[in-house]
């Protein structure tokens, strides 16, 4: 089931009831684990370590924190709720920022934000944020985890992105940056410019997913999977200048084909 959150956005004395609606659907194709000899499904049982691997039903499973070896304190859903203050249950705006100040590495999950009351206040906040080109940094406890949240408005739609905390983001690895020649840089810049276009997300499809669905249909029909041969890179390391020049030529040919197709 897709995650949903019901609460309120608060900033200053303003209180706006809202809900979060999942913005992403899962298109993954599910596979079951099968015993190849019996063609029977393989299942996993939840068992108790200290009771001869006896299966434990879901209603008897609770969350425990191990504070010493083999010693646990039990937490129920009521315990988690008791810890939450009224402020924790709301999406509390802490400050406003320019959205381009937030590095995408901090982005986690995205949700649509919909008002469930105080529609005028919601519209006012959204329009003011869009006019000023500002995003809001907020915080809330979602489930049993406190989340940092970025609220932003695009084309009149408010979105909420959960963010990783600073300490959750690992430091980048050290890379020994070798300085290329001016000619190599110029060629690389030209290639980038030649391949630059506006981002239209609808033109990018999950090609492997499409091929996998075709393969499943073939298997169901009792046919073998037919894979179209694709020209692969030789894998040989060639001169960087030659590689850039060949890439520019190939990219230029693709541009010409697209232009001719468009004219036709």
Q: What is the mean pLDDT of residues 84-97?
A: 87
Are β-strands 63-68 and 34-35 bridged in parallel, bridged antiparallel, or unpaired? unpaired
Q: What is the mean pLDDT of residues 109-121?
A: 93
Q: What is the mean pLDDT of residues 16-43?
A: 91
Query: What are the tens digits of pLDDT across the range 185-229?
Result: 998 898 889 888 999 989 989 888 988 899 999 888 888 888 777
Give 112's pLDDT tier (boundaries 50, 70, 90).
very high
Residue 262 has pLDDT above 60, yes or no: no
Q: What is the pLDDT of residue 247?
A: 81
E strands, the chain, are: 4-11, 14-22, 34-35, 40-41, 63-68, 71-75, 91-98, 107-115, 134-142, 145-154, 157-163
Give 257's pLDDT tier (boundaries 50, 70, 90).
low
Domains along the sequence of the chain with CATH:
4-26+82-168 (2.40.290.10), 182-263 (no CATH)
Of the candidates 107, 81, 238, the residue with the CA atom closest to the CA atom of residue 161: 107
Give 17's pLDDT tier (boundaries 50, 70, 90).
very high
Q: What is the pLDDT of residue 145?
A: 85
Q: What is the pLDDT of residue 64?
A: 93
C-alpha 168/C-alpha 114 separation (Å) is 29
Q: What are phi and psi of 147, to 5 degrees?
A: -125, 140
Q: What is the pLDDT of residue 1?
A: 41
Query: What are the tens digits of pLDDT across the range 53-85?
Result: 788 988 889 999 999 998 999 998 888 888 877
DSSP, res 208 = H
Mean pLDDT (the chain, rounded):
87
Residue 238 has pLDDT above 70, yes or no: no
Give 242's pLDDT tier (boundaries 50, 70, 90).
confident
Half-sphere exposure for 42 (CA within 13 Å, toward CB): 7
Query: What are the tens digits of pLDDT across the range 134-193?
Result: 999 999 988 878 899 999 999 999 999 999 999 999 999 998 888 888 998 998 898 889
């Amino acid at each position: 089931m897709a995650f949903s959150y019901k609460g309120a956005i608060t900033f200053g004395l303003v209180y706006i009831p809202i809900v979060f609606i999942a913005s992403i659907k899962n298109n993954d194709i599910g596979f079951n684990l099968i015993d190849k000899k019996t063609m029977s499904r393989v299942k996993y049982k939840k068992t108790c370590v200290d009771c001869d691997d006896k299966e434990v039903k879901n209603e008897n499973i609770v969350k425990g924190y191990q504070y010493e070896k083999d010693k646990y304190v039990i937490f129920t859903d009521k315990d988690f709720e008791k810890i939450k203050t009224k402020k924790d249950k709301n999406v509390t705006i802490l400050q406003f920022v320019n959205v381009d100040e937030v590095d995408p590495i901090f982005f986690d999950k995205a949700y649509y934000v919909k008002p469930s009351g105080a529609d005028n206040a919601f519209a006012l906040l959204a329009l003011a944020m869009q006019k000023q080109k500002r995003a809001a940094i907020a915080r809330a406890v979602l489930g049993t985890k406190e989340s940092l949240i970025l609220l932003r408005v695009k084309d009149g739609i408010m979105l909420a992105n959960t963010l990783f905390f600073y300490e959750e983001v690992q430091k980048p690895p050290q890379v020994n940056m070798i300085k290329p020649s001016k000619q190599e840089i110029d060629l690389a810049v030209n290639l980038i410019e030649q391949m630059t276009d506006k981002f239209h997300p609808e033109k990018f499809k999950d090609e492997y997913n499409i091929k996998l669905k075709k393969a499943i249909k073939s298997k169901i029909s009792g046919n073998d999977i037919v894979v179209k041969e694709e020209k692969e890179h030789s894998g040989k390391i060639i001169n960087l200048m030659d590689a850039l020049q060949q890439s520019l030529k190939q990219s230029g040919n693709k541009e010409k084909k697209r232009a001719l197709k468009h004219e036709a």
